[in-house]
Amino acid sequence: MRINRPVFLPLLSVLLLSLAACVGGTTPPSQFYMLEPISDLGHGPAGAVKKPIVILSPVRVPHYVDRPQIVTATGKNVYQLSELNRWAEALDHNINRVLAQNLTFLVPAEVVFSNSSNTAERVKFRLSVNILEFHVDPRGQAGLKAQWRITRQDGTALNRQVSYQAPASTTDYSVMVRALNECLDRLSRDLAAELHDLAV
């Protein structure tokens, strides 16, 4: 039986489009998440306040979470990458920006990302943060482990390794992100307290 090509090709196109629509309809859309600064920071102290300048070095995150997909631990030495639950921007950039916003109001300080000629002589502190762990474990606990270093104007330095946990979820990614955000909030508050005490 000979098939009429002018009729067959349009029918084939319709069938392929229908199949693609069916396959596409079974895959839920990806969800994108971002860490946010502390919500109750307000607008800082009123009036002109002389704020110390803090240079914040680029935050480093471990390679296992340095990817668009959100990573969770599912067992000992076992991790899962979620293709449907992703960070809306690079995680190190997101953490860096949130830390800067939090410290600006919590210290309060003028947080800058580079040692420009306009601020070099007025810099009071240099802060570096190295994230060691940042994920939700198999028990549904969000965890943040980090090392930080504050270097004063005279060259003396203060080093700490800190760890934070917050209850999260093993299945709900919005809950996971909120819990990770809470850990980052606590790190921000502790850093702000150290900087404030050193600035006095």
As a whole number of angstroms, the distance between CA 8 and CA 196 comes to: 76
pTM, two decimals, is 0.83
Residue at 136 is within a domain: yes
Residue at 5 is within a domain: no
Domain range for 40: 32-199
Where the chain has pLDDT below 70, the residues are 1-25, 42-49, 115-120
CATH classification at residue 60: 3.40.50.10610
pLDDT value of residue 27: 81
Residue at 179 is within a domain: yes
Tokens of 180: 């990770």
pLDDT value of residue 7: 47
Residue at 177 is within a domain: yes
* Residue 4: count of CB within 10 angstroms of its CB: 8
Residue at 84 is within a domain: yes
Number of domains observed in the structure of the chain: 1
Show the 3-state SS of 90-146.
Answer: CHHHHHHHHHHHHHHHHCCCEEECCCCCCCHHHEEEEEEEEEEEEEECCCCEEEEEE
pLDDT value of residue 199: 86
Residue at 8 is within a domain: no
pLDDT value of residue 19: 47
Residue at 12 is within a domain: no
